[in-house]
Amino acid sequence: MIRDFSIVLENMDRLLVGLMNTVLLSTTGIFLSLLIGVAFAAALMSENRVVVRPTRALVDTMRCIPFLLLAYLVYYALPSLGLNFDNWTSGLVAIVIYNAGYMAEILRGVWAQLPRESIDAGSAFGFYGRNLYLRIILPQVVLAAIPMIGNQSIQVIKDTAFLMIIAVPELTHAASSIQSKYYVPFAAFISAVALYWAMCSVIEAGVRRVERIAQVRR
């Protein structure tokens, strides 16, 4: 067993490349899906049915289907519509679309619970439309939603592992290739688990940090 782990250690660079890809996919995915989620949340809270309906349909669909299925759809099915992405880009696109739906629903849920008072004050002082949303509503919504955004971010990191099935060289894929080459399954995958656990701990620590900043701003 110790020998197994030393083999893994020798191949650490491969594992780290996989880790880097996971981190890259996750952070880009979280960031972009949050941006789009902000726009979708505004659409969901709109009074315009033409805007609400399709957004609602998209968000609900994303919450109904498995992530892997969406990744397959993007990778295998989109080419027949003319959109050809490589596996890495397909993975990223799937992550962004899938989680934009979840982020939108999180933000919308928090927004609906937000006390009207500060928004009323915004309107009374002459804020409206995009100004009201970006400067008054959104900061408060995001601050209140931090724990849920943190949870969703952990989910994103875990979902990237599915992409190994379409040969994206992320962490699990790296562990799997070390495993199959040297036949050290326990050591390889335990190392991967340890690294996933480390990433999630970083996010949880980050959430705790931001929560302390957010507390005084509520």
Residue span 116-145 as binding mask against other proteins, x where in contact by CB under 8 A, dash where not? -xx-xxxxxxxxxx-x---xx--xx--x--
CB of 179 to other proteins, least distance (A): 6
User: Which of 16, 35, 39, 65: binder of other proteins (CB under 8 A)?
Assistant: 65
Q: Where are the alpha helices (DSSP H) in the chain?
A: 2-10, 12-44, 49-62, 67-72, 87-113, 116-124, 129-131, 138-159, 171-182, 185-215
Quick one: 108 or 159, whose CB is closer to other proteins? 159
The two tokens of residue 25 are 């996919």
Does 69 help bind other proteins (rule: CB under 8 A)?
A: yes
CB of 105 to other proteins, least distance (A): 13
Quick one: 4 or 55, whose CB is closer to other proteins? 4
| Per-residue H/E/C for 2-16 | HHHHHHHHHCHHHHH
Does 160 help bind other proteins (rule: CB under 8 A)?
A: yes
Does 68 help bind other proteins (rule: CB under 8 A)?
A: yes
Does 201 help bind other proteins (rule: CB under 8 A)?
A: yes
Does 193 help bind other proteins (rule: CB under 8 A)?
A: yes
CA distance 112 to 110: 5
Q: What end-to-end distance do the CA atoms of the chain give, in Å?
A: 51
CA distance 146 to 162: 25
The residue among 189, 170, 168, 167 whose CA lies nearest residue 178 is: 189
Work out the number of other CB atoms within 10 angstroms of the CB of residue 162.
21
Does 186 help bind other proteins (rule: CB under 8 A)?
A: yes
- The contact set with other proteins (CB under 8 A) reads 61, 64-69, 72-73, 76-77, 80, 117-118, 120-129, 131, 135-136, 139-140, 143, 154, 157-162, 164-165, 171-172, 175-176, 179, 183, 185-186, 189-190, 192-193, 196-197, 199-201, 215-218
